[in-house]
Amino acid sequence: MNSDAGMTVVVAAVIRDGDGRVLLARRPDGRHMGGLWEFPGGKVEPGETPEEAMQRELREELGVSSNVDEPINFAVHTEPGVCIVLLFYSVTLAGSAPQSAEGQEIAWVEPEHLDADAMPPADADLVRRLVEEPVG
């Protein structure tokens, strides 16, 4: 890893509905990796724990309250000048159904229909795990 790269910590939520489907959000066109589907979440701000950042991001992006469960995976993505550490958490929603609060497209997707090629490269390992693991 390039020691000059700034490190950014990002949290991402694996949210399942009662049928085992996973919630995805589409990155807006014109942004880095625009058009790709991703697990909802965002950057951890200074002074926040990852769990606090997750709850804030889900309120801002989807208008929901959430319970952040255990971390389930992590990934590191590097590009010139950038190092992103992604922390993936299992999350349950509390209350209302998610709505796109920032104009992004959202969808509930059955795990076997997750497409790693339509998602950021750092999500590939988790996508593989979700496709292979039985829904309990």
Q: How far apart are CA 42 and CA 52, in angstroms?
A: 11
CA distances from 63 to 38, 73, 93, 122, 132 (A): 17, 24, 10, 25, 30
Tens digits of residue pLDDT in 9-29? 999 999 999 999 999 999 877
- Quote the pTM value: 0.86
**CATH assignment of 6-132?**
3.90.79.10
Query: For the CA atoms of the chain, what is the radius of gyration?
Result: 14
Tens digits of residue pLDDT in 79-115? 888 899 999 999 999 888 899 887 789 999 999 999 8
Q: Beta strands 22-26 and 6-15: pairing type?
A: unpaired
Mean pLDDT computed over every residue of the chain: 88
> What percent of the chain lies above the pLDDT cut of 70?
93
